[in-house]
Amino acid sequence: MTDRIKGSLVALVTPMHADGSIDLDTFDQLIDWHVDAGTDGIVVVGTTGESATLSTEEHCDLVAHCVKSVNGRIPVIAGTGSNNTQEALYFTQSAKEHGADACLLVTPYYTKPSQEGLYQHFKYLAESVQIPQILYNVPGRTACDLSLDTVKRLCDVENITGIKDATGNLERGLELIKECGEQIAVYSGEDAISLKLLAGGGDGVISVTANVAPAAMAQMCELALAGNIDEAEQIDQQLAALHRDLFVEANPVPVKWALQKMGKIPAGIRLPLVELNSQYHVKVLDAIQQAGIELAKAA
């Protein structure tokens, strides 16, 4: 594989008004902020982007809007996975038509397919749409684990160009690099272990923390990819509380609350998600301040 997308890829939140409608003006401001901060790529309508609460039309329209707003400055990776193979096909075709640079496809959730079912699902999508496709394994959310053996089989399928490993298991990630790293890119899906994965030969991180600390995450990844692990470690330690505490409740609840307190987005989130429980406010605020990030004056 050539021309790998590397570095800090933000799993971008979807800003919403208080009534739950999408706030496109704020979305555009976030994109400009990320480009200026050095973020290496935008992942739109992923888990952090509340893809599960968006309608099909909203999903496709937001990808199209993101591509237009980014305007070629950095790569756009569209979340297009589903537990319904035909729906995933529709999202992936739409993302290609709207100019996305790649797609991120989560393992089919809830249905608990076999490894052969997973292989056939991803193979079908890759053969159906000519766009780079990144596998996304997050068994803690999907109740479905994409095995190393299945990933190795999928490495041989054209258009499958990467995997986001969100198992939280560093050994799994390092094994993916060892067995598949020459064929596909390996991205950390767990901020807390992303530096260790990069030090082991990973290509980048699809990051929640980057929503709050884009410049620091971009710098950490740049240093790690250049082999300057000690310098990268200094930044990572400063971000450690964010890596941990942005998950005190289900993502993206804490990160949206943090961005609200930073004055970056309004307080909008869709049911069944609700605003961060007050018992966690001090913890998340402390994590923001430990990272050296300023809060909005009204926060």
For residue 151, pLDDT beyond 90: yes
Does pTM top 0.95 for this prediction? Answer: yes
* Res 298: pLDDT: 59
Classify the C-alpha dihedral 78-3-150-177 as positive or negative: negative
Whether the Cβ atoms of residue 193 and residue 169 lie closer than 8 Å to each other: no
Tell me the two tokens of residue 176. 């993916």
Whether the Cβ atoms of residue 85 and residue 127 lie closer than 8 Å to each other: no
For residue 216, pLDDT beyond 80: yes
For residue 36, pLDDT beyond 70: yes
For residue 80, pLDDT beyond 70: yes
For residue 2, pLDDT beyond 70: no
Residues serving a catalytic function are 136, 164
For residue 1, pLDDT beyond 60: no
Residue among 118, 55, 66, 138 nearest 95 (CA):
66
The pLDDT tens digits for 48-63 are 999 999 999 999 999 9
* Res 297: pLDDT: 80
Higher-confidence residue of 104 and 296: namely: 104
For residue 179, pLDDT beyond 90: yes
Residue among 82, 168, 183 nearest 132 (CA):
183
Cα 55 to chain centroid distance, Å, stands at 19
pLDDT averaged over the chain?
Answer: 97
Q: State mean pLDDT over 129-139.
A: 98
Q: State mean pLDDT over 98-103.
A: 98
* Percentage of the chain lying above the pLDDT 90 cut: 97
Higher-confidence residue of 1 and 111: namely: 111
Q: State mean pLDDT over 21-36.
A: 98
Q: State mean pLDDT over 204-219.
A: 98
CB neighbours of residue 239 within 10 Å: 27
Residue among 145, 225, 234 nearest 186 (CA):
225
For residue 228, pLDDT beyond 50: yes
* Res 243: pLDDT: 98
